[in-house]
Amino acid sequence: MGDKISIKNLNFYYGKNQALYDISMKIPEREVMAFVGPSGCGKSTFLRVFNRMNDTIPYARVEGEVKIDGKNIYKTKTDVVALRRKVGMVFQKSNPFPKSIFENVAYGIRINKMHSGKKDLADRVEKALRDAALWDEVSDRLNTSAFGLSGGQQQRLCIARALAVQPEVILMDEPASALDPIATQKIEELVVELKKKYTIVIVTHNMQQAARISDKTAFFMLGKLIEVNPTEKMFTNPDDELTEDYITGRFG
């Protein structure tokens, strides 16, 4: 399988402040890529480059090239709505809508007009909840408020909501950092399962988590990409001394 995303000479600015410096890398299809590095090093900013979430920030500016399936997503005529349908996002804090479990998942299907009727809608919602490993826990209370779910279930509901519109890439910004160990394990198992169908990019502060679930890891520091390698190599024999210092806990 080829590369799903390729980034070339990317620079990113908030006004006059440069946040990312000359980043070039490739993200293969149907793998998990983890972004690691100290707080404030640009991981989340870089993640949001892939679905143009940074467009909403005044004075944010991108230079360079970001291609998904060979198409530069920063070309002027890019359909950003279609891009965000293709590149789903799961945030650090689960953010269900103040609606029922069913309506949370149905929302994107409805606004994108992806269903042919009531039964098709119900089938699509069920599939998304199954894919997010949540169906068995909620199938008997689909019409109750999403806020009645536990934190871990709410996060899986947000994953189901992202999956419902049939994306190809899923971005996850520290999706388990607010969860207890058992809920975290469920999210990790889910990520490993999802990569059979999706390309996943995950920002994590948890080195062990990166080691457990990712195929490749990219280490960032002060807005620069220091190293990107297969995860196993990164954790056993990194190319750069800075990477080794960070992974062994000497700083960060």
Domain containing residue 153: CATH number: 3.40.50.300
Six token digits for residue 130:
């199954």
Q: What pLDDT is stored for residue 252 in this prediction?
A: 57
CA nearest neighbour of 44 among 178, 201, 177, 203: 203
User: Can you tell me whether residue 119 is helix, strand or coil?
Assistant: helix
Determine, yes or no, domain membership for 185.
yes
Determine, yes or no, domain membership for 78.
yes
* CA–CA distance, 185 with 237 (Å, rounded to integer): 26
Question: Over its length of 252 residues, how does the chain's per-residue pLDDT go in tens digits?
Answer: 789 999 999 999 999 999 999 999 999 999 999 999 998 899 999 999 999 999 989 999 999 999 999 999 999 999 999 999 999 999 999 999 999 999 999 999 999 899 999 999 999 999 999 999 999 999 999 999 999 999 999 999 999 999 999 999 999 999 999 899 999 999 999 999 999 999 999 999 899 999 999 999 999 999 999 999 999 999 999 999 999 999 888 765
Determine, yes or no, domain membership for 252.
no
Six token digits for residue 83:
């891009």
Q: What pLDDT is stored for residue 250 in this prediction?
A: 77
* CA–CA distance, 204 with 44 (Å, rounded to integer): 10
DSSP state, 122?
H
Six token digits for residue 6:
């390729």
Determine, yes or no, domain membership for 154.
yes
Question: How many domains, the chain?
Answer: 1
* CA–CA distance, 215 with 26 (Å, rounded to integer): 13
Whole domain around residue 238: which residue ranges? Answer: 3-247
Question: Rounded to two decimals, what is the model's pTM?
Answer: 0.95
